[in-house]
Structure 1
Amino acid sequence: MDRSGTKHSEANQIGVLGAGDTAEVPVSARFDTAGDKRLTVHVRGRYYDSDGATSEIVHLKHPVFVTVSEPSTSTTVPPRVQIETHNAVADADTTVTVTVSNGDDAALTDLSLRLDSVTGEMQAQTALTPVLAAENSTTYEFTVEPSEAGETALKATLRYNDGETVEAFDTMQVEPLRDDVSVYATAFEENDSVAVRYRVTNHGNAPIDNVVISGASNQSELPTTSLQSVDAATSETVVVDVNSWPSDTATVAATYDVGETTGRATQSVQFDSAATTTGTNGLTVALGSVDPSNSSTFLLSGFFGGLVVTALLFTGRRWVRDD
């Protein structure tokens, strides 16, 4: 916006910025005369609290000074190509965003955007757009799967207008795949029916997919259920009905796909059959860990005559309490 109050450009729905994040937003302005120009950039947004509610509405203003030159013999402005990378994990899908901005006063035609790695270890992908209007932009999203940890140099090549080209480069940091998943089970009674609640926690750095959860012992079996996916550093729960209160010790297992491999997490769970007759809450004992290198955890909690009893025995590096 200039001093006269004329609005030259506007961009909406930019997205969400976390603490320390930045975003580049392409905007444009056209002036009838050359010379020094003073503009003001207005930024409006909202702060959200931990519950997701709006805590504050902000309006920031920042002056911008530009110098407008007389047009040269050639007024063609080449398009701008920008690569944006996200957290990447080896052998797991990640998204790379490429934005093409057309700052010229003429449309671009026959756009072909190719994304690949500089050294060729990543399979090239191509996206096509027939026309990009003047003073406009478009965004492409590519799903890539880095083959190894470290740095991957990316190159985006835009071809347009019968063979003209523009290139852009960026480096993507790739972490090693970390597979760390745990599974828990608890039983509860509600409205005269008994159910088992499974919880799958993904402590790793890549999503897990096609999760199948089951449980069995030498006396009975627990129902089998599934989850489509569990994102990294998150937990998902699912509840299934059972015919009666589980009365023995069962081994609960979750199988899943992570990266290019299949993983499995197991846990030993003991259900207290006395809870169905005394009216007290059931006890859950969780033993074991995802892999043999981790130490086991013993957790016992319940209610007895209004007295809360909690016992914890820690035998290794890490413990997780299942409330």
Structure 2
Amino acid sequence: MSVSLQTPGVSRPVPEVAAAATPAPKRSRWRRHLAQPKSLAGRVVLTAILVGFALLFLYPFVWLLAASLKPRGEVFDNALIPKTFVPENYIEVWNQLPLLSWMWNSIAIAVLAAGTVAISSSIVAFGFAYFRFPGRNILFGLVLATMMLPGAVTMIPIYLIWKETGLLGTWVPLWGMNLFGSAFYIFLQRQFYLGLPKELFEAARLDGASYWGLFWRIAMPLSIPSFVIVFLFEFQASWNNLQSALIYLNAGSVDDFTAPLGIAYAMTKYSPTAGGHGDYQYVMVAALLVTLPMLLLFAFGQRYFIEGVATQGRKG
């Protein structure tokens, strides 16, 4: 049976559309109620659980903020509201510690580490996703197998390599290995590239695009969410990396330390067992200040992070 669709000067039959189209798959009842409880009691319970977990995760940050505003003798009294407020700690810390140098060193190293590993991993991941060659799956499996090696196993060989190059005491060992990519990031971005339409690359090849053009002009712009995720993950890992800084920078000048190594140095400096006076309030101020770049980074990058996670979740 058909009906006529009347338009000015045109009359043609079109198939009749059923009023009830194929129903979209519905979520199970328990998932629907868990995601959005309808009763007031359910909403109150869900809100209370969320607030409880939020307070649980915020407690260390609130404790650190309170400790940074206390005098020397009250730093570890566990009071979330200081008995004596000493905001001057935030001014004196710049005279006590070269905090600005530490933060600049950490930012520069983290940007270099995150940028190099994101680019190199993207190139390798695109090669595994786009090209078909003998032994591709075996080679990709070997790349993934490197994730099973503990860091302690490769620590000494990597140190000996950097020693032979004469780069000990510089920033290069803290980001240079990222030039060769990371197995986890290669896997993550390869999965993203596999979800891109192949027709885009086939059309570009017909138009004369090179393989590098396929990556740089098509794959790379479409993979910005995954690129930002890799950048954020590696930036955080490099920013918090105390072990590598302790190995490669500990013998240098204090001004060349990264933020984690500098805070560890400050803990030793103010320790009474090392001749200090227990001025740990400056350590608390420094620890609080070095968390701000990460908070800002995730605040500006969360849109890409959520988009990347949602895109990965849509792939079957």
TM-score (norm 1): 0.17
More strand by share: 1
More helix by share: 2
- Point out which structure has higher relative CO (alpha carbons under 8 A, 6+ apart): 2
TM-score (norm 2): 0.18
